[in-house]
């Protein structure tokens, strides 16, 4: 996957931190990871300067024991990269109350690249109870900004003429029956679902399809939301690592 600086800047500039909210009574607690030991939530890139950049990402880990080690095995593949594989330790962030998985974060060092942002490929190693588990994206490794196919991924969201516009990505290997945004105007006392439609004005990667969901939000109002796709009757969520997303109009 090769992403232009323009598209990269668009995606990273719209990444918004959400406020914390536990929503066990509204959103299904089914594990988004389908009970696998370890799996990527998503990764993203940061341009540190005109000549350096690095990646960060979040990982879902099944809590088999207190003592564990999570490592990202990665290599930069950009024009100025050495193509040498390195290891970086991930660190514990919190436990997702909705599926019980631990969330770990990794962040690579800044890497020189002529274009300001080096391409990366990587896989995840999880060591616990004398066992080693890998998430290597079904043998393909993860490449650049990426996410696992077991859930949708909110690319970005922001204000539109009607209120909220939310862009969502899904892997081409998945054919959901529906892709929706679920939102609440009253802190989840009630909620509504809105179907997403195909987005033709944004491209994320050659391995993904992009969608857009639009929600009318009155001026001065705040909503909370998450997105999900329906596959074989099961809902698979991007709920911002268990915190849901927040939008103020």
Last residue of some domain: 143, 173, 200? 143
Are both 139 and 174 inside the same structural domain?
A: no
Residues 6 or more apart whose Cβ sits within 8 Å of residue 96? 60, 102, 103, 241, 242
What are the tens digits of pLDDT across the range 185-228?
999 999 999 999 999 889 888 899 999 999 999 888 999 999 99
Last residue of some domain: 82, 113, 143? 143
The secondary structure of residue 147, as a DSSP letter, is B
pLDDT value of position 209: 96
What does pTM read for this prediction?
Answer: 0.81
| CATH number for the domain harbouring residue 69 | 2.60.40.2440
pLDDT surpasses 60 at 3:
no
Are both 124 and 159 inside the same structural domain?
A: no
What are the tens digits of pLDDT across the range 107-132?
998 876 655 556 789 999 999 999 99
Identify which has the larger pLDDT, 6 or 164. 164
- Does residue 9 sit within a domain? no
Are both 100 and 175 inside the same structural domain?
A: no
User: How many structural domains are present in the chain?
Assistant: 2
Are both 50 and 120 inside the same structural domain?
A: yes
The share of the chain scoring above pLDDT 70, in percent, equals 82
CA dist 94 to 101, 106, 171, 188, Å?
Answer: 9, 13, 26, 23
pLDDT value of position 225: 97
Are both 136 and 157 inside the same structural domain?
A: no
Pairing between β-strand 245-248 and β-strand 234-238 as defined by DSSP bridges: unpaired
Give the integer Cα–Cα distance in Å for 159 and 86: 40
Structural domain containing residue 233: 153-248
DSSP 190-233: S-EEEE-EE-SS----TTEEEEEEEEE--TT-EEEEEEEEEETT
């Amino acid at each position: 996957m090769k992403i232009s600086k323009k598209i990269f800047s668009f995606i990273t500039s719209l990444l918004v931190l959400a406020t914390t909210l536990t929503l066990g009574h509204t959103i299904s607690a089914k594990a988004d990871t389908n009970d696998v030991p370890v799996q990527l939530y998503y990764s993203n890139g940061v341009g540190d300067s005109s000549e350096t950049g690095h990646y960060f990402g979040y990982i879902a880990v099944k809590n088999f024991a207190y003592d564990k080690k999570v490592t990202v095995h990665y290599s930069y593949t950009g024009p100025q990269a050495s193509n040498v594989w390195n290891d970086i330790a991930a660190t514990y962030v919190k436990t997702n109350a909705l599926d019980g998985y631990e969330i770990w974060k990794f962040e690579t060092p800044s890497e020189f690249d002529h274009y300001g942002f080096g391409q990366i490929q990587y896989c995840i190693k999880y060591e616990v109870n004398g066992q080693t588990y890998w998430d290597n994206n079904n043998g393909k490794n993860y490449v650049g900004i990426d996410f696992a196919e077991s859930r949708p991924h909110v690319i970005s969201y922001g204000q539109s003429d009607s209120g909220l516009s939310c862009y969502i990505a899904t892997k081409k290997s998945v054919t959901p029956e529906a892709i929706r945004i679920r939102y609440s105007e009253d802190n989840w006392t009630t909620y509504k679902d809105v179907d997403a439609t195909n987005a033709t004005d944004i491209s994320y990667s050659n391995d993904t399809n992009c969608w857009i969901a639009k929600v009318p939000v009155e001026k001065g109002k705040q909503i909370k939301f998450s997105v999900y796709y329906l596959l074989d009757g099961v809902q698979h969520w991007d709920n911002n690592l268990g915190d849901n997303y927040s939008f103020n109009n």
